[in-house]
């Protein structure tokens, strides 16, 4: 059967218009980054990971900033991390009240600070807890719950595959996203898409694929090779929302300078709306390098932007750099 990334589908009963998804990106995937992905065609966007403890204890900044959902970004999934099922249930209830359509649980984060609490990738070795967390999130929220996980902790270890099976059988999950690199690899190395293919064939729920999807070609290849229900764009989407359009057949070429600058202007405006000008000035420093690279800006511009004391100064630097080069005679 011919499958296409433009096909609509449902995930736990939630209609999703296509199969191209924005992956969760810690410190990045806030409401406006998700909205940007949506503007460029993403069928679903997943939030950056949010601490279930912070939500449960009503941490003010977490609830105000990380649970903020824009009316135009639906369907949206909020990703929670944590290790305690009761806390997960309480946080999930709050996430549902904030307006999420789905909840995703992080079982792939390799960062020691997260794993040492028993959350993130540590859950790959504790399938009973993984199942309890998924059930708790569904109980607390009444929403469909998915889990994003890795293939295992260390090279050769397939704990993640076993846990995925348990989650599909006993955890009541609506779907799974598999990043088939082991946690010790962090984000390096070639993902093992064959492992995803096996789970797609075996499990009764939709399985999505993440990892190594930086270009339209690599994402289409992984979609075909794995038979996955959808693809999650992560690093490939940083400063490159046009990748969504390319994958959905809505654009062929790369954006020109004016388009890149226009997009970055939009990002700057939204960051101010989100955090106020002062915090946005610092926050945007991680966003500039992606766009400047596309603009062909060099090290001097990158460094100047990191030092720009105000957003007006940053915009001036960008627009100077963005003036199209004179045509060669
Ligand atoms: C900066 C950064 C932040 C990430 N944050 C999260 C996160 O909060 N939750 C999660 O499940 N995965 C997270 N990931 C993993 C990505 O969602 C994705 O699975 C991974 O980057 C592999 O895809 P890629 O090779 O196409 O980048 C993060 C990755 C990066 C690079």
Taking only the tens place, the pLDDT of each residue in 10-38 is 999 999 999 999 999 999 999 999 999 99
Residue 219 predicted with pLDDT over 50: yes
List 63, 109, 115, 177, catalytic entry: 109
pLDDT above 70 for 326 = no
| Residue 182 vs residues 121, 133, 153, 156: alpha-carbon distances, Å | 9, 21, 5, 8
pLDDT higher for 324 or 329?
A: 324
Closest protein CA for atom 3 of ligand 1: 25
Residue whose CA is at the smallest distance from ligand 1 atom 27 = 235
More confident call, 326 vs 254: 254
Domain residue spans in the chain?
9-247, 257-322
Q: What is the mean pLDDT of residues 211-227?
A: 97
The CB of 207 under 6 Å from ligand 1? The reply is: no
Q: Considering the chain, what percentage of its residues have pLDDT values greater than 90?
A: 92
What span, in angstroms and rounded, lies between the C-alpha atoms of 5 and 281?
A: 36
The residue to which tokens 């090279």 are assigned: 155
Whether 328 has a pLDDT exceeding 70, the answer reads no
Nearest-angstrom CA–CA distance, 34 and 282: 20
The answer to whether residue 306 scores a pLDDT higher than 80 is yes
Q: What is the pLDDT of residue 322?
A: 65
Q: Quick one: which of 95, 85, 157 has its CA closest to 128?
A: 85
257 preceded by cis ω (within 30°)?
Answer: no
Supply the CATH classification number for the domain 9-247. 3.20.20.70
108 Cβ below 6 A of ligand 1 = yes
Which residues is 103 bridged to in the sheet?
Answer: 78, 145
> Tens of pLDDT along 181-191?
999 888 888 99
pLDDT digits (tens, 9 = 90+) for 259-290: 999 999 999 999 999 999 999 999 999 999 99
* Residue 240 reports pLDDT greater than 70: yes
Residue 1: per-residue pLDDT: 60
Residue 109 annotated to the active site: yes
Give the closest residue (by CA) to ligand 1 atom 24: 211
Could you tell me if 233 and 209 are in contact, meaning their C-beta atoms sit under 8 angstroms apart? no
Establish whether residue 180 lines the binding site of ligand 1, counting it when its CB lies within 6 angstroms of any ligand atom.
Answer: no
pTM as predicted: 0.96
In our burial notation (b when 16+ CB lie closer than 10 A, e otherwise), range 124-146 reads bbbbebbbbbbbbbbebbebbbb
Q: What's the gap in Å between 200 CA and the centre of ligand 1?
A: 21
Q: Among residues of the chain, what percentage have pLDDT more than 70? A: 97
Q: Is the CB of 185 under 6 A from ligand 1?
A: no
- Ligand 1 center to 48 CA (angstroms): 9
Q: What is the largest CA-CA distance in the chain?
A: 69
Q: Does residue 234 have its Cβ closer than 6 Å to ligand 1?
A: yes
Distance 233 CA to ligand 1 centre (A): 9
Q: Is the CB of 23 under 6 A from ligand 1?
A: yes
Each residue's pLDDT tens digit, 47-66:
999 999 999 999 999 999 99
| 56 Cβ contact partners less than 8 Å away, ≥ 6 residues apart | 87, 90, 91, 94
Angle between helices 159-170 and 193-202 (to 10 degrees): 20
Place of tokens 């959808």: 230
Strands 76-81 and 44-51, by their bridges, are parallel
Average pLDDT over residues 31-46: 98
Q: What is the mean pLDDT of the chain?
A: 95
- The protein residue with its alpha carbon nearest to ligand 1, atom 20, reads 211
Query: Do the beta carbons of residue 52 and residue 94 sit within 8 Å?
Result: no
List, for residues 92-139, the tens digit of each pLDDT value.
Answer: 999 999 999 999 999 999 999 999 999 999 999 999 999 999 999 999
HEC letters along the chain: CCCCCCCCEEECCEEECCCEEECCCCCCCCHHHHHHHHHCCCCEEEEEEEEHHHHHCCCHHHHHHHCCCCHHHCCEEEEEECCCHHHHHHHHHHHHHHCCCEEEEEECCCCHHHHCCCCHHHHHHCHHHHHHHHHHHHHHHCCCEEEEEEEECCCCCCHHHHHHHHHHHHCCCCEEEEEEEEHHHCCCCCCCHHHHHHHHHHCCCCEEEECCCCCHHHHHHHHHHHCCCEEEECHHHCCCCHHHHHHCCCCCCCCCHHHHHHHHHHHHHHHHHHHHHHHHHHHHHHCHHHHHHHHCCCHHHHHHHHHCCCHHHHHHHHHHHHCCCCCCC
């Amino acid at each position: 059967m011919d499958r296409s990334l433009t096909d609509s589908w449902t995930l736990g009963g939630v209609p999703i218009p296509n199969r191209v998804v924005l992956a969760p990106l810690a410190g990045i995937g806030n409401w406006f980054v998700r909205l940007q992905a949506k503007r460029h065609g993403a069928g679903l966007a997943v939030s950056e990971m949010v601490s279930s403890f912070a939500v449960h204890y009503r941490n003010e900044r977490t609830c105000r900033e990380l649970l903020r959902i824009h009316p135009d970004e639906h369907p949206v999934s909020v990703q929670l991390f944590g290790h305690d099922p009761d806390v997960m249930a309480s946080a999930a209830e709050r996430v549902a009240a904030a307006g999420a359509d789905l909840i995703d649980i992080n079982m792939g984060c390799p960062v020691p600070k997260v794993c040492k609490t028993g959350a993130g990738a540590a859950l790959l070795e504790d399938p009973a807890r993984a199942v309890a967390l998924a059930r708790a999130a569904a109980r607390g929220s009444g929403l469909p719950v998915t889990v994003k996980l890795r293939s295992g902790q260390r090279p050769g270890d397939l704990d993640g595959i076993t846990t995925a099976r348990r989650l599909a059988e006993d955890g009541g999950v609506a779907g799974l996203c598999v990043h088939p690199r082991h946690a010790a690899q962090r984000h390096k190395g070639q993902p093992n898409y064959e492992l995803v293919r096996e789970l797609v064939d075996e499990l009764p729920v939709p399985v999505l694929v993440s990892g190594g999807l930086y270009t339209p070609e690599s994402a289409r290849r992984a979609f075909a090779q794995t038979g996955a229900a959808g693809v999650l764009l992560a690093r490939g989407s940083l400063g490159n929302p046009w990748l969504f359009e390319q994958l959905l057949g809505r654009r062929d070429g790369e954006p020109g300078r004016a388009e890149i600058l226009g997009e970055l202007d939009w990002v700057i405006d939204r960051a101010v709306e989100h955090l106020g000008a002062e915090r946005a000035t610092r926050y945007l420093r991680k966003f500039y390098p992606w766009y400047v690279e596309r603009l062909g800006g060099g090290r001097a511009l990158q460094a100047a932007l990191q030092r720009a004391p105000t957003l007006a100064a940053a915009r001036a630097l960008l627009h100077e750099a963005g003036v199209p080069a004179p045509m060669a005679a």
